[in-house]
Every structure is written in C-alpha cells, then in structure tokens.
Amino acid sequence: MKKLITPIIFLLSMGISLAQEITDRYCLDNTTLVTVYSSHWVINHRNYDINQTEYTHCDYGCVEKPDGAECAKPPIVKSAYTFIALAVLFVVMAIIIGVWWR
C-alpha cells in the first residue's frame, strides 16, 4: 500500500492539473468511429495542449447524430427496446381498461 501512496503524493505535490474531454466524434467510414480527445496539462505553471485520436471499429455500422457520432447498436438490442416499450404500453393499457371497467 505504501508503494502506491508514495507516487500519488509525489504527483499531487508537483502541481499537475489535468483535464481531458471529447472534442469531436465522427464517422470516418461506415464502420469506423473516430473520437478526438483534447487534454490541457499544466505542469509547474507551463501549459501543454495534447490531442489524441482514437479509432473504433463498429461491428454494426457507424451512425452520425446531431450531438456526435456513435456505433450502431446490435439488432437484438433494438428488438429488445421495442419489445420492452410494447410490453409497458400493454401493461398501462391493461391498467387503464381495468380501472375504467370497474
């Protein structure tokens, strides 16, 4: 445990400030999602901007959306969401009909 705590205390005492965020997500082609991360590091009052690009293979295709791209969900997940939505609708309708027919 001491071996883990000592480096952490050392890094915290150096005055390092880290911030990483996703700046862009887009589809390179139909099966590749590109995620761009930007990091701003402050080490001993010096600023460093670092950009990192990550490529992700999408098995079921890449989908562009207004708030960024994402990998498409498998068809079984879409079917499960549809089934759950219909089951909830059926239960709500059954409750409404049950209350109305009393």
Task: Name the one residue in this structure whose structure tokens are 């219909």.
Answer: 86
Whether 102 is in a domain gets the answer yes
DSSP E strand boundaries for 1-102: 16-29, 32-43, 46-57, 62-63, 70-71
Q: Supply the range of the domain harboring residue 23.
A: 17-71
Same domain (yes/no): 79, 53: no
What values do phi and psi take at 85, rounded to 5? -65, -45
Same domain (yes/no): 61, 80: no
Same domain (yes/no): 53, 98: no
Whether 92 is in a domain gets the answer yes
Structure tokens at 26: 């887009």
Q: What is the pLDDT along the chain (102 residues), one digit of tens a residue?
A: 556 676 666 555 555 555 678 888 999 999 999 999 998 888 788 888 888 999 999 999 999 988 889 999 888 877 778 888 888 998 888 888 888 887
- For position 99, what pLDDT does the model report? 85
